[in-house]
Structure 1
Amino acid sequence: MLQWNDRNIMSVLKNCLGKELSKVTMPVTLNEPLSFLQRVCEYMEYAEILNKANKEEDPADRMKLVATFAVSALASNWERVGKPFNPLLGETYELQRNDFKILCEQVSHHPPISAFHAESSNYKFYGSINPKIKFMGKSINIQPKGMVTVELTR
């Protein structure tokens, strides 16, 4: 985990008050060594939950499992302080595992919009993300805008 001097962070962040952080130039040392598209692929960390949901007979239990999958995407962000690099327009990232494949692409630069499509024999998971992040001094306002869809195959 990166360790930063509190004074260095505050000297950068004081110029960001009320601004959308995707439009602010930040020192590269505040970035994680990965693209936002790679972070999008981390949504699939608990993909086995969707496999389980597809096999579930009870509709209420299926919905609970899909909701669990949605919340599980937040687990990889716990205690992360680095910001991923903003992808270039047209940049893609692909991840293929035995049980699924996901493809992500930066489809717009202003505003920044990332699209993704994951597929397996049990589900399709796709959507677009247009995050709005503002630094407010004592808080950060995060608005994860976009549309995400899960389709179970049965």
Structure 2
Amino acid sequence: MVDEGYVARTAVLTAPLSFDGESQEDYRAPNLLQRILGLFRNIRPGSDLTNFQLPPLFNIPKSQLQCFGEPLYCTREDMLSRCCRAESPLERLTSVVGWSISIMRPLIFGVAPYNPILGETHHVSKDNLNVLLEQVSHHPPVSALHATDDRGELEMIWCQHPVTRFYSTSVETEVHGKRQLKLLRLGETYVMNSPKLLIRFFPVPGVDWVGNVKITCQGTGLGAELCYRGPSLIGRNRRTIKGKIINLSSSKTLYEVDGHWDSTVTVKDVSNGKQKVIYNAAEIMSGLNAPQVKDSKGVLWSESAVVWSEVSGGILSKDWDKAREAKKAVEEEQRKLKRERDSREETWVPKHFTVSHDEENGWDCSPIEKSVPSAPIHVPFDS
């Protein structure tokens, strides 16, 4: 939870990661691999790194909440509108598959976003889409997302609980939680999971999304099974994706999915062999603009870009002492607030979501409000 007694700070917003997983700035430290291995020298294989705090030298100047929300509002093409306006259930499922691939953004090897603090929020609008995120738990880290459009066509409700483990030559993050995309006027709900994030140190350092994703729509009886694959041991076949679109009741394959999620992905109609492109990374992720503050008075104290502004400023100027001290101040403030809550025997309650958890189903989040209002931070139209 963010203390409103903080001195007012300016929101620091940076450009989204580009098509190649790079940024307009190179945040990576010299001798990067050696520095990373030094961090993990005394950590046992299999250890949980979920709450591991990185020094600012290994951070990019944005929070994980921002990285979680960016794929929704930082796109060149409006793929969500395609999902809403496709004429047939099969065309809509195919459009949803293409959109789901577009939210799997490449990341930069050797650096990571900040771990969000409890109660941190991120609220951004682009065109008619409004996106709101909140960190609803800190130990363990759980993030909730709610997005709606002004036309009343769609709603997204996501809950994300990452678990990160160290395995000697790699770090693997398993992303638990359900993602729902609702096409409101059609009464269709598409439910999907996330692949795993794999950071490899050897033999070729890199970051990839790997594993299986299922997308289902019980209303139409259609679904998809996708498999994200990392490169081979010699670095070939990078970022491939294969899968199929099926009839859920019969398991009959209707389309085959094939391609690379950092270039193009196609579907092939198994009945006639015809192919079409459903995702083109260059069209979706090139020339993206950074969010901008449109209404400075409306920006919440809990906004990610405000909470971490001094840390981000230090990273951007490569003033590591400033960044380190600023990050320490944020973390110490959180520990202070937790001690105060504990002394009063208070339980922290999220502002924007109702949260539930059980051993069988894990974490789940429901938005308190029906729709997300327009945000004080907007993404300008892409040039």
TM-score by length of 1: 0.90
- Tell whether 2:118 aligns with 1:70: no
Count residues with an aligned counterpart.
153
1:126 alignment partner in structure 2:
157
Q: Relative contact order, CA 8 A, sep 6+: which one is greater?
A: 1
2:168 is the counterpart of 1:137: yes
Match in the other structure for 2:331: none
Letter in 1 for 2:56: V
Of residues 71, 80, 95 in structure 1, which corresponds to 2:124? 95
Give the drift of 1:123: 1.0
The equivalent of 2:19 in structure 1 is none
User: How far apart are residue 130 of structure 1 and its match?
Assistant: 0.2
* AA matched with 2:27: L
Distance 1:87 1:66 in 2: 29
Q: How big is the shift at 1:87?
A: 0.9
Out of 133, 139, 152, which is 1:110 matched to? Answer: 139
- Is the CA contact (8 Å cut-off) linking 1:114 and 1:128 kept in structure 2? yes
Identify the residue that residue 34 of structure 2 maps to in structure 1.
7
CA distance in 1, matches of 2:109, 2:103: 13
Distance 2:90 2:110 in 1: 36
Q: Give structure 1 regions of 4+ aligned residues with deviation exceeding 3 angstroms.
A: 78-81
Residue 80 of structure 1, CA deviation? 4.8
Instruction: Specify the SS of the correspondent of 1:22.
Output: coil
Larger radius of gyration: 2
**1:78 & 1:28 partners in 2: Cα distance?**
17
Q: CA deviation at 1:134?
A: 1.1
- 1:86 and 2:111 are equivalent in the alignment: no
Contact kept? 1:14, 1:137, Cα under 8 Å: no
- Answer 1 or 2: which has greater helix percent: 1
Partner of 1:39: 67
Does structure 2 conserve the Cα–Cα contact (< 8 Å) formed by 1:49 and 1:65?
A: yes
Whole-angstrom CA distance in 2 between matches of 1:26 and 1:56: 44
Unmatched segments (≥5 aa) in structure 1: none
Q: Report the alpha carbon displacement of residue 13 of structure 1 after superposing the two structures with TM.
A: 2.2
Cα pair 2:28 2:111 within 8 Å, conserved:
no
Q: How far, CA to CA, are the matches of 1:78 and 1:88 in structure 2?
A: 21
Residue among 52, 55, 58 paired with 1:30:
58
1:18 Cα offset (Å): 2.3
Q: CA deviation at 1:20?
A: 2.2
